[in-house]
Amino acid sequence: MDRILNTIFFGVAILFLAFLIFKSGEINISDINPTVLVSIIAGMVTFSGYFITRSFERQKLIDQQIREQKLPVYEDFVTFILDAVINQNLTEEQMISFFSKFNQKSIVWLSDKSFKAYVEWAKALKDIDPLITDRDPMINLLLLEKLFFEFRLDIGHKNSNFEKGDILSLFINDLHKFDLKAYK
């Protein structure tokens, strides 16, 4: 968005500069041949259009390069989580090692919303006390699903027509037994 505003500002500045030149009286606009005036305006529009297009192309290339770096990070996380949920045979050392590496990557590569969702989920996990058995595990699972949705948005998916529980239903067979609307 900043690039768009900068480009618009650049175009307005050029038009203002042209206005000042004509306003200064050295060049009277009524003395200029209309064909020449149209050519000058067309040239300014073409010149501005070139820089606007280049700016958009440059930003698109940067976004594509960043997306290529994010994909393996997101895939590693999803693979690890699904492996932990399905196999349930990860050691504490494996989990510590994975999250240590993932935390480093998350700081650099996760979008703001994905990072926020990751931190929220990680905090909820840390709040689990093994001595307290009445804590509802669905809260953490829904936070994990929210994180997965943010990952998808970040890499360009729209998440259209998705509902709470759609991703969780891929690895929780009896999810239909829970009233997910009761959760924020």
* Burial classification of residue 183, based on how many CB atoms lie within 10 Å of its CB (0-12 exposed, 13-18 middle, 19 or more buried): middle
Instruction: Give me the pLDDT at residue 20, please.
Output: 66
Whether pTM exceeds 0.85:
no
The residues, ordered by sequence, that sit 6+ positions from 59 with a Cβ below 8 Å of its Cβ are 3
**Residue 125, CA atoms < 13 Å, CB-side half-sphere:** 13
Instruction: Give me the pLDDT at residue 90, please.
Output: 84
Distances from the Cα of 85 to the Cαs of 81, 82, 89, 141, in angstroms?
6, 5, 9, 11
168 and 145 Cβ atoms separated by less than 8 Å: yes
Instruction: Give me the pLDDT at residue 23, please.
Output: 65
Instruction: Give me the pLDDT at residue 127, please.
Output: 74
First-last CA distance in the chain:
31
Instruction: Give me the pLDDT at residue 159, please.
Output: 94
User: Which positions of the chain have pLDDT values less than 50?
Assistant: none
As given in the structure block, the two tokens for residue 166 are 């759609």
